[in-house]
């Protein structure tokens, strides 16, 4: 095993553990679409307008970034050794 593979493996492990912890810390989305359709609720409220600034939105953005980073690191760990031979 080369040094790059060891560092890549450690990075994959750390990123995957962080992603799992963030996914578990997020609240589940409820199925309120039928309730909103029946009651006429809309996203014009203060909460609806500032939805991107809430804790849940920030956690979702970080989770999405970590998932993309995990994918890139996995590709790099598997592709780079092919070209270094």
CB count, 10 Å around CB of 19?
A: 18
In this predicted structure, what is the pLDDT of residue 53? 73
In this predicted structure, what is the pLDDT of residue 26? 85
In this predicted structure, what is the pLDDT of residue 46? 57
The CB-side HSE value for 77 (13 A sphere, CA atoms) comes to 19
What is the pTM assigned to this prediction?
A: 0.69
- Distance from C-alpha of 21 to C-alpha of 48, rounded to nearest angstrom: 26
In this predicted structure, what is the pLDDT of residue 47? 55
Residues of the chain with pLDDT under 70: 29-52
């Amino acid at each position: 095993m080369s040094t790059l593979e060891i560092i890549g493996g450690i990075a994959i492990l750390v990123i995957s553990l962080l992603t799992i912890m963030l996914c578990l810390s997020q609240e589940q989305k409820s199925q309120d679409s039928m309730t909103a359709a029946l009651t006429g609720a809309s996203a014009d409220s203060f909460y609806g307008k500032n939805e991107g600034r809430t804790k849940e939105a920030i956690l979702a953005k970080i989770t999405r970034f970590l998932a993309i980073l995990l994918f890139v690191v996995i590709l790099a760990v598997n592709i780079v050794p092919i070209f270094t031979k």
